[in-house]
Structure 1
Amino acid sequence: MSAASCLLTEDQFLCSICLDVFTDPVSTPCGHNFCKTCITDHWDSSVQCQCPNCKKVFNTRPELQVNTFISEMAAQFRQSAQQEASSSSSSEQQVSKPADVPCDVCTGTKLKALKSCLVCLDSYCETHLEPHLTRSGLKRHQLIDPVENLEGRMCTKHDKLLELFCKNDQTCICMLCTVSDHKLHDVVPLKEEYEGKKAELGKTEAEIQQMIQKRQLKIQEIKHSVELSEEDADREIAGGVQVFTALKESVERSQAELIDTIKEKQRKMEKQAEGFIKELEQEISELKKRSTEVEQLSQSEDHLHLLQSFTSLNAAPPTRDWTQVSVRPPSFEGTVVRAVTQLEETLSKPMKKLRAEAELKRVQQSAVEVTLHTDTLTALREQLKKLRAEVNLKRVQRSAALSEQMKKREETLSEQMKREETLSEQMKKREETLSEQMKKREETLREQLKKLQAEADLKRVQRSAALSEQMKQEETLKKLRAEARAEKGPEVCSPQ
């Protein structure tokens, strides 16, 4: 039987009415076979009993004979076809993964769907997709790549396929919506709007990439500022160390205090910089995430999914405006000067005390020590002068830089003012041109009105002249008739 079934094809066991394998096959008196339900329903809906194949008409409904041979062969063929389908599907088809769209017809192990039907609202694997590829009734169904949530592709109001996009309301609609709620709206096919939105997503992705690059450059700028600040701090520390190395315990104590002060300022600046960097890195991660989502959405072939997700992904996520944000190195100016001044004041007290004791005790101190103290103070004073000169120089340089920036800003503002003046002049010229055109049009319309009025007056005069002429003719006719009657009157009366 298996060898015989190999020689048989599916067409030999198809009912000509339902185009499916026979179910309860029966034979008509003319010898043709049909499903019992199919031929019964066909005759119930027809006026006369007629064979669908040979068109033979039966005066009375004939008795149907069960065809056991075809019934057994059809059952065996159906069983063998199912076995072949199951074996081929198990060997060739892939089992549905969590990221794949599963077949809605498979029972037990769900296979990966190859297509989704927009008419049946189901997804099919290779085996269950076969009827849509072979049967004429199902071939007309619209198949797309497998997608989930097919019910979401139907209009909730009209239960029709969402295949249009309303630009006025920015929503997907069906054909019936165009004659009801969206009548006279600007409506385009989904694919056309999909292409436009996909292009906009590409622009959005490019903008996000530019934002990422700007923030990466800002991080480099902040890190560079930190490095420069560290260099400045090191230089200040080294200068302070050089100043206080020659001093004794009080000088060393002042040196330590100076170092702590400078480092504390640096730590505060670094903490601020680290906060900015952390915030920038967080924004970059969010932008990269949005970029990935936009890239995935732009590569999606699912029109509806793209349009539904377009509003939420078209714009970049909210970020901070970093154009005016910068990390300014802490000002170390005056730190060393204040420390040295304080040290000088601290040292001046012992000097006064020593001199007072020398005067009181009249003890002659060593000239070398006095010279040493004097030389030390002189050296400190010279260093203070140098530091003050450097501070003044830096202030002058900064003021010059600020003045230069102010000049540039003033030039930019003046250019903007000139542009605005140019635009205002252009607007005035346009207004004058429009007013002249309006005047010319008014004059033309007035001339046309005058011509029309003159023509109307002329027609009225002509009509009145014609009417007066008709009146004269009618009066003349009346007179002639009266004269004719007067002449006929005596002639009629004379024979009497």
Structure 2
Amino acid sequence: MSAASCLRSEDQFLCCICLDVFTDPVSTPCGHNFCKNCINEHWNSNDQYLCPMCNKVFNTRPKLHINTLLSEVVSQFRQEAQQKASSSSSEQQADKPGEVPCDVCTGTKLKALKSCLVCLASYCETHLEPHLTASRLKRHQLMDPVENLEDRMCMKHDKPLELFCKTDQTCVCTLCSVLDHKTHEFVPLKEEYEGKKAELGKTEAEIQEMVQKRRLKIQEIKQSVDLSKEAADREKAEGVQVFTALKESVERSLNELIETIEEKQRTTEKQAEDFIKELEQEISELKKRSSEVEKLSHSADHLHLLQNFPSLKAAPPTKDWTEVSIRPSYEGTVVKAVTQLDEMLSKHMKKLFEAELKRVQQYAVDVTLDPDTAHSELILSDDGKQVHHGDVMKKNLPYNPKRCTRYVHVLGKQSLSSGRFYFEVQVKEKTDWDLGVARESINRKGKITLRPQYGFWAICLRNGNEYRAGNNPPVHLSLKSRPQKVGVFVDYEEGLVSFYDLDAAALIYSFTGCSFTEKLYPYFSPCPNNGGKNSAPLIICPVNQTE
């Protein structure tokens, strides 16, 4: 049987549903054949019973019986196909898609085993034999089979590309090396191949290293998410605990306030009730005396009137009610309760502050002042921990691009480009000062404004009592007391800069939602001496972590 007839026969034995040789073939009333299971599943999944081939619709589901004749023919076809496959398994297979075919084979192309760079042809096992036995052909360069061997030939000289021109970074033939590229540097393809292969190996190693770094970064990010979740859960639990306690305290204070007011009202009502009872009793006595007086005044018995007159002339003894009043006073009751609640809340706030401060203090850094950034009128201590304005003529200092020349500022030596840091500064006895952090690219020579868009996140004191945060617009701060020592905390990734009054145990101000893109440095300005009124220094203090 020819290949064409075999294919036609196979087409006749294919089910149009599964596209495979029939299994248990059945025939529909319209004469088309299908696998029994295929047509049943087809009808089970559709609302109508129609033929997949001609779309004929059947009113009722046809009863299907296996086509015995077709089943026998299909079985015979399967046997013949298996025998053909078995007989050809011992022979060399023809080339498959993706494999290089033999250039010599006629008819069915067999798979090539080698390609010859001299002959520019690929050979199967049979046609390769001369290259393995003939002495002249043995000198030809064989390689693993490749397609498009003509691409390995010099298009200009029709010679194999055997050299690599390092000057032009291209593959050339031997004629190119003495004609078009005679002044260039050449190496054999194999040598360049080895070099490039080594580079690829290095590149692969670098890529693998990059992959590993990114995997580690993924792990780091996942760990950060886990830590964040733990921190969030911890904060939520602490928040619930604190606010539950506050809620209970407020409810308890409210209940105590209501009970106090109601008790005072009960006392007032009892006092009024006693007064009314006493007054009613006196009224009863007075009415009784009035009745006796009236009766005596109508008496015609002279002797009787004169004898009883002395006892009835005067009113019966009674209480002087002139100064007696019911004036319940509730003024101050609510104020007192709120004051007590405020004291209780202050205690809670102090505990929360201490916990917050303890958390940020763990990021304390040993900050020192950078003399290269200090304005020429500033005087720094030898240990770099104190700075004040000298109120003297400018020192003749060498030019330094880092130095602040217009305003009396100085930066810290330490910088932050990720993570968190914290430091504390003593500001007592000063009437003016600036304190915070500044980005590396601030204007150090010209006019500046203490605002985030100019690279400053700072708070300041002016005229001894005016506290401001350098935001846009500036924020006036109402502080209960003058800070003596200020804590500064920065969370780079969170975009947070917070200032704490350590003596009052209170948060002064926070810059939130900041976008940091470069290094941040601690920023200090003791401000002008002002004739000695502001001579006290800013002092960077060691951080004593709270217990």
Q: Does TM-score exceed 0.5, indicating one fold?
A: no
TM-score, length-scaled by structure 2: 0.35
More strand by share: 2
More helix by share: 1
